[in-house]
Structure formats: structure tokens, C-alpha cells
Amino acid sequence: MTESYELVIADGEASLMALEIWGALRGLETFSQMVYQLDDDNDGEYYINASYVTDFPRFGYRGFMLDTCRHYMPLDTILKHLDAMAYNKFNVFHWHIVDDQAFPYQSIKFPAMSEKGAYHPVNKIYTQDDVAFVVEYARLRGIRVIPEFDTPGHTYSWGKGIPNLLTECWIVYDKHADFGPIHPIVNSSYEFLEDLFGEIVNVFPDRFVHLGADEVSYACWESNPDVQLFMEQRGWSDSEYNKLEEYYQNRLFDIIIGLGSRFIIWQDPIDNNVTVSNMTVVEVWKDTSLWYKLPPYRDGLEKVTKLGLKAVLSACFYLNYIDYGPDWERFYLCEPTDFNGKNRNI
């Protein structure tokens, strides 16, 4: 997207010049925000000052993520959010649409996933018409919609509609003790993923899909004797479950590439020393400000970019961790390029 524009207001006339429609949209938004009324103007007249504006985005990816899985949001709420994004010239809606807690996306090929995995099979889902409406509503405002279907972890709700998809845990570790991440060693898992993502890349037309890949607990895999045998047959030791994670991720990457799409993941596989495709875009979300045991976000950006991978930074901007006081100062003080590495963006 080329979003640059030039706005000239002089001699009672206004002109807007842009190379693409996306720049024209941004320029019209700026124009609308420059219009004002005088406090004592009873005639209802509107004014705008003579101005010259030349504007372009510093970063090509300016995203906002909504989690509509853990907290279902009605369609009207999502549309209002897209309006607010347009006012502020955001251009990527990162739609975190499914997770452990619920699967509200109504799949064409796998309708049982929302029937059994959503908070309510009718009132708490996003139909195909809903998704198409959101995608088009966003497009008309210059906003891309990138869906996140996080795997192999964060998939507990998936298993309710797809039998034998998840790894059976043999030892109780946490609240999801019966099943863990997607089963990584059976071909049926990858056949399912190819079918599901084949649908997703057609329903969501953006060239990127977010594959998640964060917070994969090895505990369930470690407890499963079939997985243990699979590891042993490949000569992987009990401490090398990152190789199993790499095996899964690269098989999924091959599926996505074969579907003609590209992908974003969270930084966790990189932190686990998983070797990923050089096409991978990595979203850095960890920072000491979230939890004292996490590394600073600059370390994550440095590690990702030194691997030659492109990055998206979200670690500085957690709106669900709002405090009392001057939060916005902290957000604006975060400088995305302030790290030791290569400054790149998508």
C-alpha cells in the first residue's frame, strides 16, 4: 500500500494528490480533522486554515489486534473499532479470532468446530457473511485484515469439533490436562490443517495469515509414549522437543506456502532456537515490563533481525495492561528501531 499524499489548502481552494487510493483515503481523513467551527459562529459555517501537508507513514505495518475469542465481541463493536483505526490511520486489523477458550469462526468445511467449540453455536459465532462484511468494511477504510489461527498450542477448543486432533496427555500438568497441542506426528493433523487453511486463505484475502506458534508447552508431548517413540526414532534426546516443534512448524509452513500465502508467527519458536523459513515474519511480544522473567523486547528484535527475518513489534503497546497514570507517554516513548540489529519492516 502506498499511503503518501499531498494536501494543499490555499486561496479558497483545496487539492489532494496521491499515488494510490490508500493515500487519498489518508489525505481525506486529515482534511476532515482540520475542519472546525468557531465557538461563536451561529451560522453553522465551517472553516479550514490555509495549509500545506505532505505526509507518508513511517512504517508500512501499523496494526491493532483484537482478541474476539476469549472475549466475544459483536459485529457492531468490531466495525466501530475499524472506524477508530481509520481515524488514526492504522492499516492492519490483526483478528485474533480463535484460541483455547472458544472457536467462534464458522468454518465451511468444519462446521462442528464452532458448533462445539464456540461459547454459543449461534449467538457467539462469526458467520461467513460476518467475516466477508468485516473484510470489505475494513478494505474501504484502507485496512487489511490478517486473521490469527494459532497452532499447535492454544487449540483446546479445536479438539472439541475435530476428534484425534490434539495430543493426549498421559500426566496431569495443568487445567488442560487431558489434551495438549495439536498432535505433531500423525499425518491426519497435517491433512486437516491443509484443508482448514485452504479455506482460510480464500475467506481472508490478505496475503498474510498469522499462525501464532506461541507458548507451546512441551509437557504434554513429553508425557505421550507415541511422541516419545517418534523422538527416539529420529535420534532426538528428551531435551530436544524444540526439534519436534520445528518439525511441526516447517510442515505447516510448507502447507501455507503451497497455498500461495505468507505467514506471521509470534517470537516463541525463535526463542526456542527453532529454525524457520526465511519467509517468516516474526511478531515480538515479550518484554520485561510484562513479566520480570521475560527478556527486553530489544533482545527479541535483535535476535529476529540478525537471522535476516522481518519483524513486527507489539511488546510496547499492551492496552490490556493499562495502568492509572500517563500510559500514552510510555507508548510514545517506545522507539521500534532502537535495538542492535537490522531495521526492517513489512
Q: Spot the catalytic one: 20, 136, 191, 215.
A: 215
Q: Which residues contact 114 (CB under 8 A, 6 or more apart)?
A: 103, 104, 105, 106, 107, 121, 125, 161
Give the number of other Cβ atoms within 10 Å of residue 209's Cβ. Answer: 20
- Enter the C-alpha cell of residue 228: 516419545
Maximum distance among all Cα pairs of the chain, rounded to whole angstroms: 83
Question: Is 148 considered catalytic here?
Answer: no
- Enter the C-alpha cell of residue 14: 483545496
Active site residues: 215
